[in-house]
Every structure is written in C-alpha cells, then in structure tokens.
Amino acid sequence: MNDIAVILGNQLLSQDFEQAGGGTKLEQAKHLASLYASADQAIVVLSDLVFNKSYVYYGSAAAALGLQGQLSGAQIDSIWEEEVFARIHPDDLQAKHMQELRFFHFLKGISPAERSDYHVVRKLRMYNAMNRYVPVLHRMYYLLDLRNDHTEMALCLYGFDHFPSDHFEGRIVNARTGEAVPAGDGRANMLSRREQEVLSLIDSGKASKEIAGTLCISLNTVNRHRQNILEKLRVSNSIEACRVARSFNWIG
Amino acid sequence: MNDIAVILGNQLLSQDFEQAGGGTKLEQAKHLASLYASADQAIVVLSDLVFNKSYVYYGSAAAALGLQGQLSGAQIDSIWEEEVFARIHPDDLQAKHMQELRFFHFLKGISPAERSDYHVVRKLRMYNAMNRYVPVLHRMYYLLDLRNDHTEMALCLYGFDHFPSDHFEGRIVNARTGEAVPAGDGRANMLSRREQEVLSLIDSGKASKEIAGTLCISLNTVNRHRQNILEKLRVSNSIEACRVARSFNWIG
C-alpha cells in the first residue's frame, strides 16, 4: 500500500460516524453498484467507510482484466480493493489515491448543495489477463451524508477506456457544468495559507524560532501551526508532512 | 430528421413484437435510467421500441446543455428525443444514427449470448445553454429480448466528455474484452457479398439484363437480389438503396 493510500485511509475512516445511519442507504448503494456492473460490464467497488468494508461487483470486463472467478457482491473487510489495486500501474494508483485525498478535502470546502455535482475521472493502466497494461477508465463518487457532513461511502468503477490516449491523468469534474476543477484550485488545499508558509520554512530547514522571527509571530503560534499541520495531514512528524504537501504542490 | 434516422426508425419499429412482454422489464429499465441520470448527472433517454415511446430523465447536466425545465421521467410519443437531437451537431447526429443502424444489424449477426457485451460510445458536439458547441460523450445500449431476437428498448446517455479530443467519432465496443468492432467488420454489413455486387452494378448505371450477363446469373436471380436489397435496407427504390449502401461504405 502506498503512503498516500495510508493517509487517505486514515482520514476516511477517522470521521466521526457516531450518528451514521447506514442500513437502507447501504442497500440502495449496493443495488446501484450491481446495476452499474451489469450495464457497463465494469468492476464496481462500493466501500463502506463507516464499517470499513467493501462490496465488489464484477461485470464481464473482470475476466479480461485477470480478476476471474470472483463472486459478485463479495464482501471485503477493508475499504481497499487490494486485488484490483495489484493490477493497476503503481504510478497511476498513487496518483489516484492522491486525487481522492484531494477530492475528499475539496468536497468539505464547498457548500453541501454543490457536492453531489462532483466526481473523479481518471485514465489509468491496468494489467489485463495476459499481464499487459491496457487503458482503463476509472470513475469515483463519494456518497455523502449531508446531515452530518460525512463521506459515508465511495463508489469506484473500473471499465475499459474506449477512447484511450497516451496521457494517464485524472480530473475532479463537475458533471453539472462539464468543467474540471483546476489542479491548483485553492479550495482543494487542506492547509491554510499561513500553514503553507510555516511548512515551506520547515521544509527549507528552518527551526521554529527562526520561523517565528521570519513571519513576525510568536513561537507558540508556530508550534500551534505545526500541530495543526500534522493533524490535518494525519502524519506523525514534519518530514512526512513536507513530503505529503510537496506531492500535492502545496509547498514549493 | 435525417434520412438515416428514418431508415433506422423504420427498422427498429417494424420488428415483429407480437410476443413482446413489456411490463416489468420496462419498469426495471426506467429505474435504471433514472439511477444513471442522478448518479452521472447525465441526460438519459429510454426508448420503448414496442410501443414507440420514450422516457427522458434529466440529470443536472441538462440545464447547462440548454434543456432546462424538463420533468424527469417525462413521456414522449416517439422513439426519438427530438429536443435533445436539436442540440446535437447535425453531422454528429447523422453519424450517430448511422452507427446505431449498423449496431442494430451487427447484433443480429452475432450469437445471442455475446450480445449484451456490446454497446456504442461516441464523442459528439452539443450546443450548451449559450449555444456554443461543447464535447459530449454519448453511450447507447440496446436492451434485447433474447427469446424472440428483438431489440425491445434503447438506452441513450448524454453527459459531458471529461477527456475531450478534436475527433468526434463513435465506436461499437465490446465492454467485456475492451475491443472496438473494426469499422469495416463484415458482420456489421446487412447485405450479402452478392447483393453488394449487384448493388454496385446498379449504382454504376447498369440495367438488370447487363448485370445478369456480367455476373453470369439469370435475370430472375438479379431481380430477386434487387427485391431483397430493398427489403433489407427498408427503402422503396434502387436509388435510395445505393445512397444508403454508399453512406455505409458497403459499395465503392
């Protein structure tokens, strides 16, 4: 599992689900997932973030992608479909998880009414049954509980890309307007401007006292920012924080 | 309405539906159509070929495409969604219908078990609410009744193309294998080789007697071929037959 997936998993699963309903909504989502799998012949993974489980539906494309012999609707005790991930090009898998992390935070930054307009699309490479990479189109939807601002479920679809290109890239798209969210959209950044400044200075090797002097703030404030950064990025030290933030282009 | 749409419509609607079931299947298909519209924000049209009606479901993309104010699930007394067609670039609309006609015949030429693997994908241009062309991805599925070899329903989805290109083109694809059906695939040709020869000679201005001489067959046989060609293409005379066959590249 790549580092970004670990960070993303921690964030998805550590939401406060105390009031989560589940039940009927999960059954409806399973029904939608199985319909998608049979209509598009796609591989459809419904991940339940409340109970840390997934349900995998295999359309007929699964066999050609080397995922033969699976029971449709089978339950996995994880939000990650490792068996599918193992067939995705590692670079594309990491980029996919990075985008899903960005998408998770992006949705929190916009109004609840807007959220259902957005999803993620990505062109990626997957091994086929002959262990050759073939172009696949991945779509991902977060199913939200708007009452308590949770991302309760994720729906991932993998199907052959019928208009392949040489670019393997992903986009957060607004299906209502047709627009893609620009990669540098500030709303998708989970760090405040001040936190970015602090982290940039940490990244350039400065100590907390120097950072306080440079930004004309107290040492206490610097330390509070440090703490918030670690919490927001769900990492345990500044070196990890810098690496994650750099991978998102949040710090230069 | 373009000529190809007229030919396609005649063929779709003139199937022998005497034993058609309808009922439950239609309700299930309506449910699928409405789910697609809300999950993908797409415009989804379910056409019932048995009763010559359509049901239109508008996801939130409809407003940006200038199709505002429609009731989701509204019934149209036609298999054609004229209001949507009016917003499609005329070249793309004609190419779309031509491909659907080809697809209809292609499905008849393969084994029933294979048929549900295939659908049509197309990149096309649609007017948006500001009357500017924007790239749209169209998917079309024929819902088949395998017992009596009918195409009972058609499901058309229109959504923004999130990976647009400069090529506006369509493909009949096999979602199980990921392969596209080659444009010149003989199975998609509804005329036999001999019928093509006869029609080519008609197209070059030859009379039946000359054709009989050239192909070393009797005048009766030529006339039988002529009759079969008109029936297969559902046209009323040889000039129309030549035009349709030429538009499919079935004759040189």
pLDDT lower than 70: segments of chain B: 1-2, 19-23, 69-70, 184-189
- B173/A64 Cβ within 8 A: no
Residue A215 has pLDDT above 90, yes or no: yes
**Is residue B61 within 8 angstroms of chain A, CB to CB?**
yes
- A32/B39 Cβ within 8 A: yes
* φ, ψ at B49 (rounded to 5°): -80, -20
Q: What is the pLDDT of residue A23?
A: 62
Q: What is the pLDDT of residue B188?
A: 55
Q: What is the pLDDT of residue A113?
A: 84
pLDDT tens, B39-95? Answer: 888 999 999 988 899 999 999 899 999 997 667 789 999 999 999 999 999 999 988
Q: What is the pLDDT of residue A203?
A: 93
- Is the CB of residue B64 less than 8 Å from the CB of residue B128? yes
- Is the CB of residue A225 less than 8 Å from the CB of residue A194? yes
Contacts of B42 in chain A (CB under 8 A): 175
CATH node for B190-247: 1.10.10.10
What DSSP line would sit under A50-72, residue for residue? TTTEEEEEE-THHHHTT-TTPPT
Contacts of A173 in chain B (CB under 8 A): 160, 162
Contacts of A39 in chain B (CB under 8 A): 32, 36, 141
Note whether ipTM > 0.85 here. no
pLDDT tens, A155-173? Answer: 999 999 999 988 899 999 9
Q: What is the pLDDT of residue B136?
A: 97
SS (H, E, C) chain B: CCHHHHHHHHHHHCCCCCCCCCCHHHHHHHHHHHHHHHHHCCEEEEEECCCCEEEEEECCHHHHCCCCCCCCCEEECCCCCHHHHCCECHHHHHHHHHHHHHHHHHHHCCCHHHHCCEEEEEEEEEECCCCCEEEEEEEEEEEEECCCCEEEEEEEEEEECCCCCCCCCEEEEECCCCCECCCCCHHHCCCCHHHHHHHHHHHCCCCHHHHHHHHCCCHHHHHHHHHHHHHHHCCCCHHHHHHHHHHCCCCC
Q: What is the pLDDT of residue A107?
A: 85
Q: What is the pLDDT of residue A126?
A: 97
pLDDT tens, A48-105? Answer: 988 899 999 999 899 999 997 667 789 999 999 999 999 999 999 988 988 888 888 7
**pLDDT higher for B44 or A106?**
B44
Mean pLDDT of chain A: 87
Q: Where, residue-wise, is CATH 1.10.10.10 in chain A?
A: 190-247
- B64/A178 Cβ within 8 A: yes
Half-sphere exposure of B96 (CA within 13 A, CB side): 27
The alpha-carbon gap from A171 to the nearest alpha carbon of chain B, in Å, equals 8
**Is residue A39 within 8 angstroms of chain B, CB to CB?**
yes
Query: What fold is seen in the domain A3-186?
Result: Beta-Lactamase (3.30.450)
Q: What is the pLDDT of residue A124?
A: 96
pLDDT tens, A183-214? Answer: 765 455 678 889 999 999 999 999 999 999 99
Give the separation between CA A207 and CA B80, rounded to whole angstroms: 69
Contacts of B160 in chain A (CB under 8 A): 173, 175, 177-178
**pLDDT higher for A37 or A132?**
A132
Q: Where, residue-wise, is CATH 3.30.450.20 in chain B?
A: 3-186
